[in-house]
Each structure stands twice: as C-alpha cells, then as structure tokens.
Amino acid sequence: MGSPKRLIPLATALCALVAVAAGAAASLYSYTDEELAGEVQPIEFSHAVHATKLEIECLYCHTAADKGPHATIPAVSVCMGCHQWVKEGESPGSAEEIAKIASYYESGESIPWLRIYNLPEHVQFKHMRHVQAGVECQRCHGPIQEMNRVYMTPDTVTRNHSLWLPAAKLEMGWCMDCHLEMGAADDCTACHY
C-alpha cells in the first residue's frame, strides 16, 4: 500500500470524477439557455419527448383546452394512464422522475407544477375559443413541442395599428395583432368583462 501522501491526489481525482458524474446525472435533459430561464418544476417533464418523439397530441393531456376556458395542467391520473406501465424512459434518471409521479398519485396529491403563463385578472382568455378557431398552441406558447423545460418565449412584435410601438408576447397589443390578422373580435368586451 502506498503512503497516505501519494493517495491524496488519487482520492481527490476520484472525488472529482464522482462529482462530475453526479452533476451529469442531476438532470435528465440537456437544456438550452432559454429553457434554463424557465421554472424548475417538481418533475423533469419534457414536451419534446412526449409531444414530438412519442407524438402525443396536446389535447390528450390538456383535455379541457377545446372545451373550457383553461387548458389545465393534467391530473396526475392522466400521467399514470401511461406511467403505470412505463416505469423508465430512455434517459438515465427517468425512472426516478416517473417514481415521483407514482408517489404523488399514490398519496392522492396533485403535482405542484409552477405556472408559466399568467394573465392579469382583468383579462378573460378562453382556450376553447382559440382551439376551436384553429389557433395552434405554438402561436402563443412558442415551440412548446420542442421544449425539455417550458419557458416563456420572448416574442416581441411591432404593432401596426398603434404608432408602431413594440408589444411583448401576451400583452394586449400582441394579442390584438393576432385578432386583427385573424378577423377575430376586437371589441373590448371580448376579453375584458
């Protein structure tokens, strides 16, 4: 056996290797800078995996989007519809995330997802009207089907109808541009009542 002084560099290198491996395993997905700006959710859920790779339609999970005012965050029972059978995905660490879903389900608790899209109380937005009019989810949510972590896309447009002032996504001018382009209601009471 070597002297303790000779073992210190070896032990240090081994600890560094373990730390790097643990850091790599700490996240299921590689996140873009934009995704890193998004909220860290209680479950590492990827729309890219579910919507793009597995081709699950938005309305399969967000069942109320075409019937009610809110798209709603899916109940944990919706997740368990598949994950009672699918216990592990392709990404290392996915089994632990799926186990968290099962734990919420078994405890009768909802997954405490953090809200990303939030409108002021004085704005009434009805998902069903937009879905039924053929507005794609991506129009407001950005390339959601490509996101490993949901983030608010920073789209800004210049409004033609109001002195060419810029409007950020989900501000009134941004919404009004779409309404005017699509021939939708432009009366105040369409969204404020």
Assess whether pLDDT exceeds 50 at residue 20: no
Assess whether pLDDT exceeds 80 at residue 98: yes
H helices, E strands: number in the chain:
9, 2
Selection from 92, 78, 24 nearest residue 50 by Cα: 78
Model pTM score: 0.78
In tens, the pLDDT along 74-83 reads: 999 999 999 9
CA dihedral (35, 40, 45, 46) in degrees, to 10, reads: 0
172 or 103, higher pLDDT: 103
* pLDDT of amino acid 125: 92
Instruction: Read off the pLDDT band of 154 (50, 70, 90).
Output: confident
Joined tokens for residue 20 = 């790097």
For residue 70, how far is the Cα from the chain centroid?
16
